[in-house]
Structure 1
Amino acid sequence: MTAVLAPDNVAGAPRVLMVRGYRFELVKLVSQWRIRLVLLASWIVPALFVAGVSQQSSLPVDTLFGRWMHATGWAGSLVVLGFSGTWALPLLTSLVAGDVFASEDRLGTWRHLLVAVRSPRRIFAAKALASLTVILLLVAGLAVSGVVGGLLVVGDEPLVGLDGHLLSPGDAAVNVLLAWVCVLAPTLALAAVGLLGSVTLGRSPMGLLLPVIVALAMQLAQMLPLPVVVRLALPGYAFISWNGLFADPAQLGPLLIGIAVSLVWAVAATVLAYLLFLRRDFTSAADDGAGRRALALGAVPLAGLLAATVAVVAVATPATGSGIEQEKVQRSVATAFAHLYRMQTKQLHRPDVTEAQLRATAACSKGNTRNGAEGAGNDWRCVVSWHLPGIEAVGQAIYQLDITPDGRFMADGDGPKEVNGYFLVSTPTGDTANPLWQFDGNVELLHTSPKG
């Protein structure tokens, strides 16, 4: 017969205040050398990285906004954000939330902690809040450090948006801040999964690695040709959809869905961790929470939650298939080209034109498919046409597109040379980067504007 310690069941014993328990757990976390090391690194390394890369001749053009790190200091923070969502934040949440309960199992200190606090509920809340505080400090460090490094080295210059439009330094600052705030939602979801793994798997290393495993699984899923409703229902989609903030108008639909799904996962995983923690037999040194039943109670509800979010997104959105359709691709390429053409016009000191005067259009095909092309791939080809005031001839430029399953594309200019066939353009002040040579764009998977 086993005895399970009921919460708050020690009559007459003084309870430790929640604030004291939280402070105690926070001190325990930051006293660990590895936590101190990652906190220091998060506030220093991004600035050094952005400053170093911004001074190099070659830029990480395969990373979103990487090609603009020479032009503005705000691009560096977004490059750090993209890397953090893929690698840094999953690792950091594993290190903090994935170990906050398991460390007590390894050290065998549960009995001492329960005698001191006398409330499993308060212990759980204090540990969860302490780990959340450290994670928020880590995210804040990554954001601030990346911004500071870019602004000090490159400066507070306008930022080219994802559709080619120019954001003023003030607008860029607001959008960069919002982008970092948005990724807090999937970070909280991973942290909650870390809490759940730490409770259910105890001293097993798998508990520590669970947020990383879940993050990698979601990244692999985003690389697959999944239906758009499944893609948006994954809790890590907000790590990608923040780029919609840098379009005009902002592509908020996928971003808001990603944030909502992430928050639902964060609440669900935290509640599961809490309920399983209260069921622990703390009187037995052999019970560290691991077991088939505990795993089932943690995994099965989350699997059901995933199925439920897919069903809700499918009902709530009009999207079908991959969401990458020929008309959307053509509209995105034409819009970005028109904005960037105006930028090139200013570089060359030519008479200014507006997007309305250019009337840019794009005719895109995928492989041998001329009509009804859809889906990701590197075999998209677009011919962009535009008009100049007072000139009857129609200008044309060719682009080869590589579109990823999440809707992001990179357009590579394929002539004519004087427009997009070379990475530099000759200006009265010297050679400068050609904005039309290569550019990034995004196909909004839920975009439903009427056909033009």
Structure 2
Amino acid sequence: MTVTTADDPATTADDRAAVARRVSVARCYRFELVKLVSQWRIRLLVLACWIAPALFVAAVSQQSSLPVDTLFGRLMHATGWAGPLVTLGFAGSWALPLLTSVVAGDVFASEDRLGTWRHLLVAVRSPRAIFAAKALASLTVILLLVAGLACSSAVGGVLTVGNQPLVGLDGHLLTSADAAGKVLLAWACVLAPTLALAAIGLLGSVMLGRSPMGLLLPALVALAMQLAQMLPLPVAGRLALPGYAFIAWNGLFTSPAQVGPLLIGVVVALVWAVTATALACLLFVRRDFTNPSYDGSGSRAVAVGVLPLVGLVAAAVAVVAATTSATGSGIEQDKVQRSVATAFAHLYRMQTEQLHRPHVTEAQLRATAACTKGGVQDGAQGPGNDWRCVVSWHLPDVEATGTAIYQLDVTPDGRFVADGDGPKEVNGYFLVRTPTGDAPNPLWQFDGNVELLANTPKG
């Protein structure tokens, strides 16, 4: 029997070999990725995200009734590029928060339930490497799911309806190529709030251990943000929420694009993603892996994880308020009037082409809108369904001024639906009689967007 001492060269060599055999982050990442995609629920999610949107868009596009209460839903018969935007609206509200909950919200808690932390630490020897590998594996799967939603819905829409131009939120017509680029950019922009929710999922999974609340945390945060967006918040408070980019992509479909709120929303979401991930890493490397009954990091860890995020919201509100012209709700009478008049002028030209009437430009029309809210003639502001607008325009060589009435429902985030209220031959009926038969009337109902950060010109 051979006895070795601390000075034995064989023992020293073994120690060096053990240190050298520390598993790299790349190998650990591959291992964690295989663990994730081997789960049946993850495989089902990947399959559903790459197939279900195409089937949904194809089925809805063939129906006689469309989801007109959804942005771009009324255009699903007209162009295949409306389908991925309808899917994006649904995904931002429900699908992406739930996907991040399932993937990121359980990636650490599953090890607690199975009691495998000691085995993993013996194999990898570095808590930081384990955290990086799990975070990167979760990110990879989430990106795969988002890519599936975007590609599947776009393919389903284009194959079912066709590669036609898309009418923007101010009535201007985007070419097929331009529409494709804007759709791709819109899906890319929502990656930022998706990463923020994924980081919150990582934090909840580390912070709450076996508790199912860690799994539900991203979905609950997303629901809270949705409810907050429905409230009449000040503009600075609205833009400071990490989920604002889920709706701010609407501004890409105006001319010029309303990129200010979108850029703020993306930056805020990325700051949230970095902060929440850093907090999760800090808590993870400091946790006690020797206690098999560990069930969350306790109230101290919850305070460490939650209080910085609360402070981040306050700081974001202060920064947005100080660096922008945002005041009040951002929905003001002059902004509404400009948005309605601009959209009407673009859509009137479209109706003119349908009816084969003489060509007319927006400059020749000189369209204007006079809007009131709840009977308030001057200084009307704020969201509501009691907006009423009278649009006036002029035609070349015609002395009479044309007028049309619209009832508006303006949401707190600036989106509005204009419902035509006559005259019938202009906007009072959903069809127009063209030389080739009846066609949808572009002036009957249309969606629009009021830029919350736009400066109101002073008279």
Q: Assess same fold via TM > 0.5.
A: yes
Alignment of 1:160-309 (within 5 A): 160-309=167-316
Q: Is the 8 A contact 2:334 2:456 kept in 1?
A: no
Alignment of 1:413-428 (within 5 A): 413-428=420-435
Q: Is the 8 A contact 2:287 2:297 kept in 1?
A: no
Are positions 1:383 and 2:390 aligned together? yes
Match of 1:447 in 2: 454
What SS does the aligned partner of 1:12 have?
helix
Q: Which amino acid in the other structure matches residue 204 of structure 2?
A: G
Q: Which amino acid in the other structure matches residue 292 of structure 1?
A: S
Match of 2:85 in 1: 78
Give CA-to-partner distance per residue, 1:340-380, whole Å, 9 cap, x none. Answer: 00011111111110000000000000012110000000000
- Which of 331, 337, 347 matches 1:340? 347
Aligned length: 444
* Whole-angstrom CA distance in 1 between matches of 2:21 and 2:160: 56
Match of 1:53 in 2: 60
What SS does the aligned partner of 2:446 have?
strand
1:451, CA displacement in angstroms? 5.0
Are positions 1:326 and 2:337 aligned together? no
Q: Is the 8 A contact 1:398 1:416 kept in 2?
A: yes
Q: Which amino acid in the other structure matches residue 307 of structure 2?
A: V
Alignment of 1:28-107 (within 5 A): 28-107=35-114
* Whole-angstrom CA distance in 2 between matches of 1:251 and 1:144: 25
1:383, CA displacement in angstroms? 0.1
Question: Please, what is the CA RMSD of the aligned residues?
Answer: 1.1
Q: Which amino acid in the other structure matches residue 140 of structure 1?
A: A
Greater mean alpha carbon deviation, residues 283-292 or residues 330-339 = 283-292
Match of 1:6 in 2: none
* Whole-angstrom CA distance in 2 between matches of 1:260 and 1:225: 23
* Whole-angstrom CA distance in 2 between matches of 1:279 and 1:446: 43
* Whole-angstrom CA distance in 2 between matches of 1:39 and 1:290: 32
- Which of 393, 399, 408 matches 1:392? 399
Are positions 1:362 and 2:392 aligned together? no
1:231, CA displacement in angstroms? 0.1
Are positions 1:408 and 2:415 aligned together? yes
Give CA-to-partner distance per residue, 1:79-115, whole Å, 9 cap, x none. Answer: 0000000000000000000000000001110001001
Q: Which amino acid in the other structure matches residue 276 of structure 2?
A: A
Alignment of 1:115-130 (within 5 A): 115-130=122-137
What SS does the aligned partner of 2:19 have?
coil
* Whole-angstrom CA distance in 2 between matches of 1:438 and 1:362: 16
Are positions 1:18 and 2:21 aligned together? no
Gaps of 5+ in 1: 1-8
* Whole-angstrom CA distance in 2 between matches of 1:296 and 1:17: 32
Q: Which amino acid in the other structure matches residue 229 of structure 1?
A: A
Change (3 A) 1:227 1:449: closer
* Whole-angstrom CA distance in 2 between matches of 1:58 and 1:350: 30
Q: Is the 8 A contact 2:166 2:175 kept in 1?
A: yes
Match of 1:156 in 2: 163
What SS does the aligned partner of 2:233 have?
coil
Change (3 A) 1:10 1:281: farther
Give CA-to-partner distance per residue, 1:268-322, whole Å, 9 cap, x none. Answer: 0000000000111001111233311111110111000110000000101011000
Q: Is the 8 A contact 1:407 1:442 kept in 2?
A: yes
* Whole-angstrom CA distance in 2 between matches of 1:14 and 1:50: 51
1:450, CA displacement in angstroms? 2.9
Which 4+ runs in 1 deviate beyond 2 A?
9-13, 449-452
